Amino acid sequence: MAKTLNVGMVGYGFMARAHSNAWSNVSHFFDTGYRPVLKAVAARNTEKAGGFAGMWGYERVENDWRKLVEARDIDVIDVCVPNDLHAEISIAAAKAGKMVTCEKPLARTAAEAMPMIEAVEAAGVPNMVWYNYRRVPAVMLVKHLVESGRLGKIFHYRAKFLQDWTISPDVPQGGAGTWRLDVDAAGSGVTGDLLAHCLDTAMWINGGISSLTAMTETFVKQRKHSDTGQLAPVGIDDAAAVLTRFANGSLGTFESTRYARGHKAAYTLEINGEKGSLAWDLHDLNRLQFFDHSVEGQLRGWTNILVTDGDHPYLGKWWVPGLIIGYEHSFTHQVADFLTGLATGKPASPTFREALPANQVCDAIIASGQSGQWVTLQT
């Protein structure tokens, strides 16, 4: 009989939906020993939270996240609110002995993330950051292939995350949905929101980044702030282009922008090694492109692998070979790993501490974008 795990959700936005979907369907597919129960949702706007709770089946609504932290019937707090609230909520939850799962990036800066890490470690509570793209089966296969040496020595790691939703100067900063444009709420722009994903995946696959230089730009310098209705300076980076050196000697190029007209969530990565190359595209997420240089001369070429077989990561738990999965499954996989971690005592990655390097590299990108200098990092 599976143990129940009562979930307290803080927030009701897009990410809260993605996470709720995962908490609610995981035990239909993965036998982890735990069965999450959508217990309560907390938000200041109780009307919206009530609608959200009704749709997803949360049992009650609270008007303050502190009530979830205090509640005896909540086991895990899921933090799905703007980045400036991650630290306060996570620290309070950990001190109350709750498990904490926090949306990415862990915090606005690495300095802000440190007390969060200390709090979960001091309390000894299970913790995890939602870098969901690690759990796309094709991306996990990339990691297996790189680690098993199929690409040999790695020369290049290349990733992009392109969007186009903030090109209009009429998009406000601050407020629901557009807090990502407010530097006080978000900490940074595309760097923390989008590049953080690319960097987390990159370092998980290819190891630490030892130095970087970045070019950042804010194309729209002033936007109306939703809180005041007044025009205010924009403090976020709208675009970032980054050159990195990895500790293993390979070179990285990373680009992110919300000004690539026509691109909505174009996350792509490519890795080039001595023996082969791999390429993946979020918009075709079940496929992995593999160039294997060891294949005999005339047949050598890019192979298009449909990653849906039962022996591919996680796929044995879903349908039958050839039937594809989507974005939402990456979150279900992350929850499945979190629950398995509870059962086995081997924490699911990334823990708060394992998510810190992404924050540190984001800080370095912002600093380098401002100074124009190379920044050296501890790996």
> Does 176 engage in binding with ligand SOE (CB under 6 A)?
no
Smallest distance, Å, CB 200 to ligand SOE?
11
Pick 91 or 358: Cβ nearer ligand SOE: 358
> Does 2 engage in binding with ligand SOE (CB under 6 A)?
no
* CA distances in angstroms from 223 to 108, 136, 180, 193, 276, listed in the order given: 21, 36, 13, 19, 46
Smallest distance, Å, CB 366 to ligand SOE?
17
Smallest distance, Å, CB 197 to ligand SOE?
6
> Does 238 engage in binding with ligand SOE (CB under 6 A)?
no
- Pairing label, strands 127-130, 251-257: unpaired
The residues, any chain, with a CB within 8 Å of residue 366's CB and separated by 6 or more, are 188, 191, 214, 216, 237
Pick 189 or 252: Cβ nearer ligand SOE: 189
> Around Cβ 50, how many Cβ atoms within 10 Å?
16
- How far apart CA 328 and CA 336 sit, in angstroms, is 13
Task: Compose the 183-212 pattern: x for residues touching ligand SOE by CB under 6 A, - for all others.
Answer: ----------x---x---------------
Pick 265 or 320: Cβ nearer ligand SOE: 265
Pick 37 or 199: Cβ nearer ligand SOE: 199
- How far apart CA 359 and CA 102 sit, in angstroms, is 13
- How far apart CA 166 and CA 229 sit, in angstroms, is 18
Q: How many residues bind ligand SOE (CB under 6 A)?
A: 3
The residues, any chain, with a CB within 8 Å of residue 65's CB and separated by 6 or more, are 10, 42, 77, 81, 89
Pick 265 or 295: Cβ nearer ligand SOE: 265
Assigned token pair, 146: 């790189």
Pick 18 or 117: Cβ nearer ligand SOE: 18
Smallest distance, Å, CB 265 to ligand SOE?
5
What is the DSSP secondary structure assignment for residue 260, as one 8-state letter? -
DSSP string, 132-161: GGGGSHHHHHHHHHHHTTTT-SEEEEEEEE
Interface residues for ligand SOE in 265-284 (CB under 6 A)? 265
Interface residues for ligand SOE in 94-123 (CB under 6 A)? none
Task: Compose the 304-343 pattern: x for residues touching ligand SOE by CB under 6 A, - for all others.
Answer: ----------------------------------------
Residue 103 · residue 15 · CB < 8 Å: yes
Smallest distance, Å, CB 348 to ligand SOE?
18
Report the interface residues with ligand SOE, using CB under 6 A.
Answer: 193, 197, 265
